[in-house]
Amino acid sequence: MPPIRSVLRRTFLVSHASLRVRAFGLDFANPIGLAAGYDKDGIAIHGLACLGFGHLELGTVTPAPQSGNPRPRVFRLVADEALVNRMGFPNRGGRALARRLGRGRPKDVVIGVNLGKAADTPLDEAGDDYRRLVSMFFGLADYLVLNLSSPNTPGLRRLQDAPALMRLLEEVNQERRQLEAKTGRKVPILAKLSPDLEPRGLQAAVEAIAGAGLEGIIATNTTLSRESLVSAEAAEAGGLSGAPLRGRSTDFLRRIGELTKGSLPVVGVGGVMEATSAREKLEAGACLVQLYTGLVYRGPGLVRDILRDLTADA
């Protein structure tokens, strides 16, 4: 409801010229965004936009609806300030999200859509799913993300291996070139990588992404690592997010910057729980920062608090 949105915006919005960012050809009001997975179907975009985010990344969405993995599939590790999830891309399908975006979207917030292959799509046919989704959202989203790194869709992370990745990116680029020629519009495409990639695998993936002309990398997805956790729920299968991922994801994005000599924009995500961890990502080379688990533990004022801190010295 518009009156409630107005109250929320007055409560949470922080606006300052020093916060503005230009990344992969887009203008952002500030560097703090919502990571994919929080609003898979775009149900809450108007409310979330009132919390002060500079961008919202919707999804992960698949071509057709799918129910995801059996419940329970999300676990709160309170003592570790973390979550474990094994959602498996539950969503209402690409057409449902496209219809919702087509009915209107919040102003002054960049909208990205995170794309994933269906659970029952063979890996050698994954390119078909991504091509369909790129076509579906090319005219609706400001940027698109190829999710190649969720640990909860069997085999998905194998798409990060250089040979498979190069084939996939060529298929996606074929679709993109056709859409650009047809519409005259350019839409940035990024790839989201796993923090569990070994150094040689990361280097090969970054080289493939840069060689294919993608506009950026999101670093990182959740991890399968369970180092130094104390919560009993840490034994649950799935991807770990939150405070324990902070150092690993920051080291990962710093390494990408070294490999590309800063030529490829990197979005930092993983363990952003307060202003200090957001600053850490930016100082490590991230052009933008995303959060998810931080909202669970810090609440809706987290974005405002981070932005106030970032403007304190401006």
Active site residues: 150
Amino acid symbol at 89: F
Axis crossing angle, helix 2-12 with helix 302-311, rounded to the nearest 10: 40
